[in-house]
Amino acid sequence: MKLQLSKAQMWIAAAILVILLAAGGYKVMHKTGESGIAPNSGGTGTNAADSVPGANQAADSKYPGITTVTSKQEFISKHENWINRLDEIAQKVNVAYGGWSSGKIKTDEFLNTCGTLRQEIKILNKETDLYTEYNLNRADQQSVNYTAVIKGYAHASKDVNDFLEYAFRSSDEKIKDRYANLMETKYKNDLAQLKKDMKS
């Protein structure tokens, strides 16, 4: 009888331990999200930047790996770096497309290059969207064209990313149409506007 009671107690203790561990894991996931990274969302308010992700983040990030931009100089420096890296990816797309459309490289090689570039832009997007938050005062936001630059960069990045995604599920003619629309027209226009917003 004592042996049976001891086993019962052991099972009860094990069940309690499992419950406690599960509860602890839920708290961690609830706080940081399933990926362990806090969403980079803005606060609420009435100024123009409130609709832009990261506009009202706390100055000291609670999450490791996230950089908080607190000065206009840092804001400008980061976006100049991101724009240059995005345009490097876009230029690689142009070279690959030119080789494919002229028959110098086969479709498989073109798509392999697109796959590599898609991974590059995903890494860049994680840096800009997940690992950076902003805490600029109103005066600095206005001086750097905060809302226009944030949205302008997002549009230019989306143009390149969308083309790379479409390339894998489109016919040859559709790829050519997407390239003309997204890369030759939209990306060039969005990039030109973004650079203009950065200078003004």
Domain segments of the chain: what residues?
A: 1-36, 42-199
Query: Would you give the end-to-end CA distance of the chain in angstroms?
Result: 85
**Residue 67 amino acid letter:** T
Please name the CATH architecture into which domain 42-199 falls. Up-down Bundle (1.20)
Indicate yes or no: pTM above 0.95: no
Tens digit of each residue's pLDDT, the chain (200 residues): 444 445 556 656 565 554 554 444 433 333 333 333 333 433 333 333 334 444 444 334 444 589 999 999 999 999 999 999 999 999 999 999 999 999 999 999 999 999 999 999 999 999 999 999 999 999 999 999 999 999 999 999 999 999 999 999 999 999 999 999 999 999 999 999 999 999 87
Q: Which two tokens stand for residue 46?
A: 């009435």
Per the CB < 8 A criterion, the answer to whether 83 and 72 are in contact is no
